[in-house]
Amino acid sequence: MNARYLEKFLFWLSPLAQKPPTLLTAVNEAKRTWKQALTDFNHITDRDLVDFAIHNIKASERRYMALIRKAKEEGVAAWPEDICTTGPSEEAEAGNPKALAG
């Protein structure tokens, strides 16, 4: 009986018990990291850190863009496809007078 509880406890502590982040989560985290790198660069007071900040911006931007590219290839979207099915231009082409009025 104690072995069973110990096994459950060790499984709970195991890093394998955690789910890997989804691609959408990785994209959002990369975007946050990129914005933070830009903010850090704008607040640098030590000239010796400028090169480091530029490197961080470039690296985080490349990671963000690579993840966006991968998400596009896999068809991952940040919102459901049916959230915006038609835009004003499509409604105008369909002959909707309200779309033309603005």
Q: What is the pLDDT of residues 22-49, one digit of tens each?
A: 888 999 999 999 999 999 999 999 988 9
Length of the chain (residues): 102
Predicted confidence at residue 76, as pLDDT, reads: 81
**The whole model's pTM is what?**
0.60
Sorted by where each begins, the domain ranges of the chain are 31-71
- Higher-pLDDT residue of 87 and 20 is 20
The larger pLDDT score, comparing residue 6 to residue 100, is at 6
CB-CB contact of 23 with 76 (8 Å): yes
Mean pLDDT of the chain: 80
CB 60 within 8 A of CB 37: yes
CB pairs under 8 A, 24+ apart, for 24-33? Answer: 24/71, 24/76, 24/78, 26/67, 27/64, 27/67, 27/68, 27/71, 27/76, 27/78, 30/60, 30/63, 30/64, 30/67, 31/64, 33/60, 33/63, 33/64
